[in-house]
Amino acid sequence: MSRVGVVGAGYVGLTTGACFAHLGHEVVVGDIDTDKIHRLAKGDIGILEEGLPELVAEGLSTRRLRFVVGAASAAADAEFVFLCVPTPRGSEGDADLSAVEDVVREIAPLLTPGTVIVNKSTMPVGSTALVARLLGAAGAVAELGVASNPEFLREGTAARDFLHPYRVVIGADDPAVAVRVSELYRDVQAPVLVTNPASAEMIKYASNAFLAMKVSYVNAVANLCEAVNADVREVTLGMGYDPRIGFEFLHPGPGWGGSCFPKDTAALLHTAARVDDDFPLLAAVISMNDAQQDRVVDKIRDALGGAPAGRRVGVWGLTFKANTNDLRDSPAVAIVRRLVEDGVAVRAYDPAGGESAAELVPGLEVAADPYEACVDADVLVVLTEWDEFRWLDFTRVAGLSTGRSIVDARNLLDPAAMRHLGFAYRGVGR
State in angstroms the smallest separation of the CB of 14 from ligand UGA: 13
Residue among 59 and 252 whose Cβ is closer to ligand UGA: 252
Residue 262 sits in the site that holds ligand UGA (CB under 6 A): no
Residue 256 sits in the site that holds ligand UGA (CB under 6 A): yes
Pairing of β 80-83 and β 3-7: parallel
Residue 320 sits in the site that holds ligand UGA (CB under 6 A): yes
State in angstroms the smallest separation of the CB of 185 from ligand UGA: 16
Residue 151 sits in the site that holds ligand UGA (CB under 6 A): yes
* Interatomic CA distance for residues 358 and 195, integer angstroms: 45
Residue 342 sits in the site that holds ligand UGA (CB under 6 A): no
**Which of 73, 119, 122, 289 forms a contact with ligand UGA (CB under 6 A)?**
122
**Which of 95, 215, 297, 300 forms a contact with ligand UGA (CB under 6 A)?**
215
Using left for φ > 0, alpha for ψ between -120 and 50, and beta otherwise, residue 313 falls in beta
Span of 32-40, 182-190, 254-262, 357-365 interacting with ligand UGA by CB under 6 A: 254-262
Radius of gyration of the chain (CA): 23
Residue among 322 and 339 whose Cβ is closer to ligand UGA: 322
Hey, what amino acid is at 74? A
Query: What φ, ψ does residue 315 adopt, rounded to 5°?
Result: -120, 135
**Which of 171, 258, 314, 370 forms a contact with ligand UGA (CB under 6 A)?**
258
Residue among 255 and 403 whose Cβ is closer to ligand UGA: 255
Hey, what amino acid is at 395? T
**Which of 3, 39, 105, 154 forms a contact with ligand UGA (CB under 6 A)?**
154
Residue among 134 and 382 whose Cβ is closer to ligand UGA: 382
Residue among 182 and 323 whose Cβ is closer to ligand UGA: 323
The answer for residues whose C-beta is within 8 angstroms of residue 29's C-beta and 6 or more apart is 5, 6, 9, 13, 14, 17, 40, 65, 66, 67, 68, 74
| Angle, alpha carbons 80-179-271 (nearest 5°) | 75
Residue among 31 and 329 whose Cβ is closer to ligand UGA: 329
* Interatomic CA distance for residues 160 and 158, integer angstroms: 6
Catalytic residue list? 260
Span of 74-82, 220-228, 260-268, 393-401 interacting with ligand UGA by CB under 6 A: 260-268
Residue among 308 and 317 whose Cβ is closer to ligand UGA: 317
**Which of 18, 260, 267, 407 forms a contact with ligand UGA (CB under 6 A)?**
260
Residue 250 sits in the site that holds ligand UGA (CB under 6 A): yes
Q: Compose the 172-211 pattern: x for residues touching ligand UGA by CB under 6 A, - for all others.
A: ------------------------------------x--x
Span of 34-42, 145-153, 183-191, 297-305 interacting with ligand UGA by CB under 6 A: 145-153
**Which of 162, 185, 205, 261 forms a contact with ligand UGA (CB under 6 A)?**
261
Of 303, 338, 315, the C-alpha closest to 386 is: 315
Residues of this chain that bind ligand UGA (CB under 6 A)? 122, 151-155, 208, 211, 215, 249-251, 253, 256-258, 260-261, 264, 320-321
